[in-house]
Amino acid sequence: MAKTALVVITTGSEEIEAVEVTVAGLNSAGNTVMSRNVVFGAEKSLKDALASAPFDAIILPGGLKGAEAFVESEELGEVLRDQEKAGRLVAGICAAPTALYRRDLFLGKSLTSHPLVQERMTAGGKYQYKEDRVVIDGNLITSRGPGTALEWSLAITAFLLGQEKADELSKAMLAK
């Protein structure tokens, strides 16, 4: 059976860090203006996408404005809590890991984020913060920002499909 992933976007999400799977708008389906004014089409609203749950992965692209919307979304917070409890993958990049902090998710895990939100992520000692480009701790994969998006994507691929598949894709893209 194919692995499934849900990518949640909102106005201000970073488009270079997203993957094309089921793309759900945090608040609605339709066009969403990303952080660099690129317009992405969300296939479904988050609420509608959840009818197809569970997903093997929930992927949160970065972008400060988008991450702030993720932090404020009660619905997304519950989805992430369910994903953590079930041991399924949550992957966040750039400022997106702040959504975990707000909900006290993945407490004690190692993670990283964009340096602009590092102080917030280290407050209260909730996490083992690392400045690595990509941090993998069980079913949590985090990364720093646009410059690390490819490595982050390959880590997600390895988690879902195995290291051999990730290596195959990396080679085909001339990433290494």
116 in Cβ contact with 64 (< 8 Å):
yes
Choosing from 26, 76, 94, 154, which is the catalytic residue? 94
Could you confirm whether 114 is annotated as catalytic? yes
CB 152 within 8 A of CB 97: no
- The phi, psi pair for 108, rounded to 5°, reads 85, -10
SS3 content of the chain, % helix, strand, coil (to 5): 40, 25, 35
Q: Residue 142 catalytic?
A: no
> Cβ(140)–Cβ(155) under 8 Å?
no
18 close to 7: Cβ distance less than 8 angstroms: yes
Sort 39 into a burial class: Cβ within 10 Å, 0-12 / 13-18 / 19+: exposed
Which residue among the candidates 44, 103, 109, 114 is catalytic per the annotation? 114
Task: Give the integer Cα–Cα distance in Å for 150 and 16.
Answer: 9
Catalytic residues: 94, 114
